[in-house]
Structure 1
Amino acid sequence: MFAADFPTLVNGQRTDSVAVTDRAFSYGDGLFETIRVCQRSVPLLPYHIERLKRGFAVLGFSGVDLELVESEIMMAVAQMPADEGVVKLIVSRGSGGRGYRPPIQPEYQRVVQCSARPDYSQQLAGISVFLCSTRLPEAFGLAGLKHLNRLPQVMARREWHDASFGEGLMQDSHGCVVEGTQSNVFWLSSGRLYTDGLVLAGVAGVARELLIREVAPALGIEVCFSRISFKELLQAEGMFVCNSVMGIAPVTSIAQHGQDDIISFGAEEALDAIQQLQSSLEVYYRCE
């Protein structure tokens, strides 16, 4: 299927054009969601809408019609040439304002872009990850949000071109591993599941929220928030990365920037636990 077969809607109209004066283009003034479509349904949409609400509150996006946003997502899904796919939603503050100062009465712009879902079958079996040298900046008020400012992730992704690496790990300015370039990071230790609390940096992913609130508790696994250095992470029993489009990918080895050594990772018992989490997460997509 060609990319042109997948629809793009701008404010509910099928087009691929937006104003060059839009503040999303000038300043990254907006939020986005990357949403998995299964059998033409969007099972995790409530989680995405909840995260949008949090972001709107922080950015001062008042008056965005969320019912309209949801209806445009489903309108685009209905026009897709396949039952499976990915929806990227962007909500910007629109055009206007002087310099950084936002307009008093913004005209919010909504872009819904559909595409095919990549084949993640190899990643779901286990991936090698790359430790990036690019650090995440601290952004206290913005930590957790999926805003449009993604330059640190872009710079980190430039660091490797070897297709054998499925993801890159990113540290904050203190040397703690926070997330992947496009995923959240979890690790297992002493029967507990750990992840960064995302107080200083990072994106609170939808799959991460689902694991914390529903999947892990249903399996009797305690979830804890902790900050961890890369050296300490190597002592964990197992690790995985996840996002709402891919699901869970166990980490089997790690390579460091500028070093040739590849560190094998993950005890067999931990991998079994990760695969159980992986299977349980997929149930929520109703794709099994």
Structure 2
Amino acid sequence: MQWFRNFKPNTSLAISDRGLAYGDGLFETIATVSGTIPSLLFHQARLARGCKRLGFDVSKELWQQWWGFVQSLAEQMPNCGIKVMVTRGSGGRGYLPPLQPDFEFLVGVFEMPNYQAQQKEGVSLLLSPIQASINRSLSGLKHLGRLENVLAKQALSNQAFEAVLLDANKHLVECVQSNLFWLKNNQLFTPALHQSGVQGSFRAKVLLSFEGVVNIGSYGVEALYQADEVFITNGLSGILPVTQFEDKSLPIGRLTQKLMDQV
């Protein structure tokens, strides 16, 4: 993996950086295709929302410089993955952030994983023993404080590709590194993320692309047992059909395949 810090090759960061100390920052994981970023607008929109909610007052000039650099890497290294991290930098007194942050812009370039087998054959899901935290102030954000995902990944056995996280109310939230969808009677369902979880960039693409009724709300695990089709989404993998949830077998359904073909 090749790393850049503030537009220059660099693998070092100040130990006083607030991203390290407090998780005070955001990140995006971006797929490129033949030198382009198909989901660019979705990543830009999510990072902009995150910056606004965390009070990152990023100038228009710096914003354009950030994304211009990302696009230049995509052009130079076709079919790579790009991880972007933005921290508030160092400074402030304890938790209190500095009034004028000196943002750190960190970019990593890596070889894209190959998900062709999973796209063709489907993946399996289990219920995770790790609970998704409820916090309206942080819900939806792809912030750097991802300890529950670390614990959930650590707990994930080799028997499944992904695991489903529930919140304290036993509502479906998401998977360890994917958003969760299912279909019932030709209608699309996905958990609301106003209290927990991450608003995935590919999740947004699916919601815009589905030609039918979309239901976003609070659902228990029984919804997956009753589903006709289940799939998960991630910015790198796209749509992955689910063929096994716990002890329930599922088909790669017609609507899932249609979305895979068009999104």
Is 1:141 the equivalent of 2:123?
no
CA distance in 2, matches of 1:114, 1:223: 35
SS in 2 for 1:140: coil
The residue aligned with 1:233 is 224
For 1:160 and 1:202, the matched residues in 2 are separated by: 18
CA contact under 8 A between 2:17 and 2:88: conserved in structure 1?
yes
CA distance in structure 1 between the partners assigned to 2:58 and 2:80 by the alignment:
29
CA distance in 2, matches of 1:77, 1:94: 25
SS in structure 1 of the partner of residue 156 of structure 2: coil
Alignment of 1:217-228 (within 5 A): 220-228=211-219
CA distance in 1 between counterparts of 2:18 and 2:243 reads 41
Post-superposition Cα deviations, 1:194-229, rounded to whole Å, max 9, x if no partner, equal 11120110101011101112x21xxx2221112111
Corresponding residue of 1:150: 146
What does residue 51 of structure 1 align with?
A: 46
Cα distance in 1 between the residues matched to 2:160 and 2:178 = 14
* Selected match of 1:73 from 44, 66, 70: 70
Q: 2:255 aligns with which of 264, 268, 273?
A: 273
Equivalent position amino acid for 1:86 in 2: G
Q: Which residue is equivalent to 1:200?
A: 195
Following TM superposition, by how much is the alpha carbon of 1:79 offset from its aligned partner in structure 2, in angstroms?
Answer: 4.0
Q: State the SS of the aligned residue for 1:41.
A: coil
Q: Which runs of 5+ in 1 are unaligned?
A: 256-261, 282-288
- Aligned residue for 2:105? 110
C-alpha distance in 2, partners of 1:188/1:144?
Answer: 22
The answer as to 2:249 corresponding to 1:264 is yes
What's the counterpart of residue 123 of structure 1? 118
Q: Is the 8 A contact 1:94 1:107 kept in 2?
A: yes
Q: Does 2:163 align with 1:168?
A: yes
Q: For residue 263 of structure 1, what is the amino acid of its counterpart? A: K
In structure 1, which of residues 238, 241, 251 is the aligned counterpart of residue 242 of structure 2?
251
Give the aligned residue type for 1:189. Answer: K
Q: Which runs of 4+ in 1 moved over 4 A?
A: none
Alpha-carbon distance between aligned partners in 1 of 2:36 and 2:88, rounded to the nearest angstrom: 28
Aligned AA (1:197): A
Specify the SS of the correspondent of 1:147.
coil
Shift of 1:123: 1.5
Which SS does the other structure have where 2:28 is aligned?
Answer: strand
Give, as a single letter, the amino acid of the residue that structure 1 aligns with 2:150. V
The residue type equivalent to 2:258 in the other structure is Q
AA in 2 matched with 1:74 = Q
Structure 1 position 236, deviation (Å): 1.2
Give the TM-score of the pair, scaled to structure 2. Answer: 0.95
Task: Kindly indicate whether the alpha-carbon contact (under 8 Å) linking 2:156 and 2:162 is maintained by their aligned counterparts in 1.
Answer: no
Residues 9, 16 of structure 1: 8 Å contact kept:
yes
Q: 1:189: which partner in 2?
A: 184
| Correspondence list, 1:31-42, <5 A | 31-42=26-37
Structure 1 position 78, deviation (Å): 3.9
- Root-mean-square deviation (Å): 1.3
Q: Return the alpha-carbon distance in structure 2 between the equivalents of residues 196 and 76 of structure 1.
A: 34
Secondary structure of the structure 2 residue equivalent to 1:144 = coil
1:169 deviates by 0.8
**In structure 2, what is the equivalent of residue 286 of structure 1?**
none
Deviation at 1:91, TM superposition (A): 0.5
